[in-house]
Structure 1
């Protein structure tokens, strides 16, 4: 899945990882992140135009006359200007620098990785430091700009959202970290596959708007689909689930996870009201578990079709694509 989602894994910098052993999830993620970061440094920092405001005696850009008069800078023969610069100090680089600092400080990562992370961190001197409390703002920006699909961003999200750098998570297991990586990769894999499968459709990971939300409505949960495929007359919303236990047991009877069902039904009902099509189908797609309890069912709720299926990842590529192609039909 990793190689399919990220073509850059074919680079020589990643090929040798296939022959290495990893002690645990921290070792694996650390090496992946540092290799990806090294390639980024070789190519150079991504740059973008960033707007800034400053007080200066050398006018440039757009002079902010009102602010200059209000703040009294004209008395000293200075003005306030607004301009933009082609800078490396952008959210994407701030996120990478944030993670490098976290790896360098955390004793959960091997000593050699911590030293390498600190060395790389020093190369990010053009990028200002941002505390991890600023992560939600950076994540929203990257998603809005469509920059959240890179390997570096994925690994950064797993490391930060998994609270790997927190000081009060001594009981956090490396296996949990591996599960997070696989879960996120599973989502990215399905998204990229269907983007290539349905090239003439609008296929993306998208936010879903709540129906009839008033201005004074209390803050509602964010509805964010893993995969949304919009056709001419029909929309399919797919929610990817990567669990060891795909079913829950109630009085010795195996049933679908109720929270997952409520979630996908809510997504579909609101998408049918606020999206492009009234005909909306929902799919819960679980990765097949070796433990068993792999769901396979179909129901109809309020005129909408819902599938709860299991995807077997441990098969040949032709068999895997056959499962995926059979799942969604327009």
Structure 2
């Protein structure tokens, strides 16, 4: 299980933020015992910063029964209520204010975490206190896939993007069945291999993007070196998209991350590599188009769980390394191991 402090670093890089940008939390992370406490504290401190900077305002559409005309009159609704005879009408108009989908979602996240028994009573009180700093008429939006997608489409950046990432992770770790008292229950998302695989992949890619300058770092779509009698048949081939590609004029590394409990599986009383992972990396290497002067290699990277390994092969003429990364060691060791991997 990844220690909470290392989980904090993993999330920072997965969300494309240097830990130094959130230095206020680095020393606190060791005191948390559950991932939910970490997320709740990030949500709290991020919201406080948002309030200090001033809430971003936007135009929101209002619909209201008024005694004077404003904006657009909803004639059918007004007639059905017999309002015009009384000198009133239902109008829709745009009003500038802090009522935005983003702030409603943040309020919804604050409300859910503030009711969770899995966080300390002091943190719940702090979350409720910061909620009272929002306008009283701003309603919270409960976290849902639909609400989060709507906010994501607005393409928030900077600090708002960080808070949206927290909200999305909270939603992913919320259990579908509430507690008996109606409170939202959250699981330890470190046990969700699918979710952790996504975070681990983004963590590794963004770590290299932020912490080294030799390679250009990207996720690359590789074209099949294939032909077909019917050109349209080529579109039926599966897409090849790398987790992380590190590219320099003289060297190119295809790095595939796999978040599995073990890098080896028992077969016929022997431990062997997971064949689909190796086949996938081999396909990436064999379908590369590169300059003759560029050295091409592949890396399969696993988190170290039951056993640490460091295996080196030459496959199809390309060096391939299968290696584990110990996420239980102190953070400086993790960072050093990642940088050493691409030396």
Normalised by the length of structure 2, the TM-score is 0.58
CA offset digits 1:16-73 (Å, max 9, x no partner): 7357453x333333233333333333334467x9999xxxx99xxxxxxxxxxxxxxx
| Equivalent position to 2:167, from 150, 156, 173 | 156
Aligned to 1:40: 50
1:193 Cα deviation (Å)? 3.9
Aligned to 1:201: 215
The answer to whether 1:250 aligns with 2:267 is yes
CA distance in 2, matches of 1:169, 1:298: 50
2:302/2:325 contact within 8 Å kept: yes
Which aligned pairs between 1:270-309 and structure 2 lie closer than 5 A? 272=288, 280-289=296-305, 291-292=306-307, 294-309=308-323
Alpha carbon RMSD of aligned pairs, Å?
5.2
CA 1:45–1:283 in 2, change beyond 3 Å: closer, same or farther? farther
1:297 Cα deviation (Å)? 1.6
1:99/1:156 contact within 8 Å kept: yes
CA distance in 1, matches of 2:152, 2:314: 35
The answer to whether 1:310 aligns with 2:324 is yes
CA distance in 2, matches of 1:322, 1:309: 14
The answer to whether 1:7 aligns with 2:23 is no
Aligned to 2:145: 132
CA 1:261–1:216 in 2, change beyond 3 Å: closer, same or farther? closer
Higher relative contact order, structure no. (Cα contacts within 8 Å, ≥ 6 residues apart): 2
1:309 Cα deviation (Å)? 0.7
Gaps of 5+ in 2: 1-5, 13-17, 62-69, 72-95
Residue range with higher mean Cα deviation, 233-242 or 247-256: 233-242
CA 1:310–1:131 in 2, change beyond 3 Å: closer, same or farther? closer
1:282 Cα deviation (Å)? 2.6
CA 1:21–1:134 in 2, change beyond 3 Å: closer, same or farther? closer
1:160 Cα deviation (Å)? 2.6
Gaps of 5+ in 1: 59-84
1:98/1:132 contact within 8 Å kept: no
CA 1:261–1:8 in 2, change beyond 3 Å: closer, same or farther? same
CA offset digits 1:258-312 (Å, max 9, x no partner): 3433444455556x2599x9864331222323x32x2322334444433211223
CA 1:308–1:151 in 2, change beyond 3 Å: closer, same or farther? farther
1:159/1:165 contact within 8 Å kept: no
Which aligned pairs between 1:57-136 and structure 2 lie closer than 5 A? 89=100, 96-97=106-107, 99-103=109-113, 117=127, 120=130, 123=134, 129=141, 131-136=144-149
CA 1:46–1:173 in 2, change beyond 3 Å: closer, same or farther? closer
Residue range with higher mean Cα deviation, 227-236 or 312-321: 312-321
CA distance in 2, matches of 1:98, 1:220: 39
Which aligned pairs between 1:214-225 and structure 2 lie closer than 5 A? 217=235, 223=241, 225=243
Number of residue pairs the alignment of both structures matches:
288
2:249/2:294 contact within 8 Å kept: no
CA distance in 2, matches of 1:228, 1:140: 27
1:235 Cα deviation (Å)? 2.9
The structure that has the greater radius of gyration is: 2
2:28 is paired with a residue of what secondary structure?
Answer: helix
